[in-house]
């Protein structure tokens, strides 16, 4: 699938997850995720407390998809059918065949390898179906768990940006990590 054909959000399945097109009906799950201060400690948005605010987040993400520069998935647990997070390929640059990765998971599901499954599905889709050359991740340097997850798949720290983001009323630094398709293939294409 070329970048120009990637506007329709395909469903991706892993052993325990379904990554599917986001819908406004996912707002209650987004409220659970985006109202939790611990989950959002490295996120660029303030916690929300109302369903209407979660609906606005979902709508904003759907609007980004409509621009053609973003693919956004709801992460659904196959066993329960519950939406437990979201993930995205965004800032898609067709000319340079690159995109950024992003993901968030309900804290109740941390530590079970589900973020790893979702990230692997996105990486493989980006490299194999979209024919991307490079993936990037902009991460808070304090977010050791996310950095470890990215490094598990071969992402390499390529840069450090001082006070790049204004989040929760303070200036925060940023680590930039990158993964080339050739490096991922050389590793055997997985995070094992």
Give this prediction's pTM: 0.91
What domains can be seen in the chain, in order of their start residue? Answer: 3-133 (3.40.630.30)
- CA–CA gap between residue 177 and residue 159 (Å, rounded): 7
Token readout for 121 is 């599905």
**Could you read off the pLDDT of 20-57 as tens digits, one per residue?**
999 999 999 999 999 999 998 888 788 899 999 999 99
- Cα dihedral across residues 149, 154, 159, 165: positive or negative: negative
The length of the chain, given as a count of residues: 192
Burial category of 33 from C-beta neighbours within 10 Å (exposed 0-12, middle 13-18, buried 19 and up): buried
30 and 54 Cβ atoms separated by less than 8 Å = yes
Q: Which H or E element spans position 88?
A: strand 83-93
48 beta partners: none
Q: What is the pLDDT of residue 165?
A: 86
- CA–CA gap between residue 86 and residue 19 (Å, rounded): 8
Q: For 49-73, give one letter per residue: b (16+ CB within 10 A) or e.
A: eeeebbbebbeebbebbeeebbbbb
- CA–CA gap between residue 103 and residue 64 (Å, rounded): 15
- Cα dihedral across residues 26, 29, 34, 39: positive or negative: negative
Low-confidence ranges of the chain (pLDDT < 50): 1-6
Residue 143 neighbours by CB distance under 10 Å: 15
């Amino acid at each position: 699938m070329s970048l120009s054909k990637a506007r329709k959000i395909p469903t991706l399945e892993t052993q325990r997850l379904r990554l599917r097109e986001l819908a406004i009906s996912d707002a209650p799950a987004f409220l659970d995720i985006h109202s939790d201060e611990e989950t959002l400690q490295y996120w660029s948005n303030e916690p929300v407390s109302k369903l209407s605010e979660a609906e606005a987040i979902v709508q904003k993400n759907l609007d980004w998809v409509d621009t053609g520069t973003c693919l956004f998935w709801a992460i659904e647990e196959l066993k329960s059918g519950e939406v437990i997070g979201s993930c995205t390929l965004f800032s898609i640059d067709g000319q340079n065949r690159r995109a950024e990765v992003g993901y968030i998971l309900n804290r109740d599901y941390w530590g079970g390898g589900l973020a790893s499954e979702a990230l692997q599905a996105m990486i493989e889709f980006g490299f194999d179906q979209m024919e991307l050359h490079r993936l990037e991740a902009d991460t808070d340097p304090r977010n050791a768990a996310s950095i470890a997850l990215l490094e598990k798949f071969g992402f390499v720290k390529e840069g450090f940006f001082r006070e790049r983001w204004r989040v929760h009323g303070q200036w925060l630094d940023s680590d930039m990590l990158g993964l080339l398709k050739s490096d991922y293939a050389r590793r055997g294409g997985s995070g094992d």
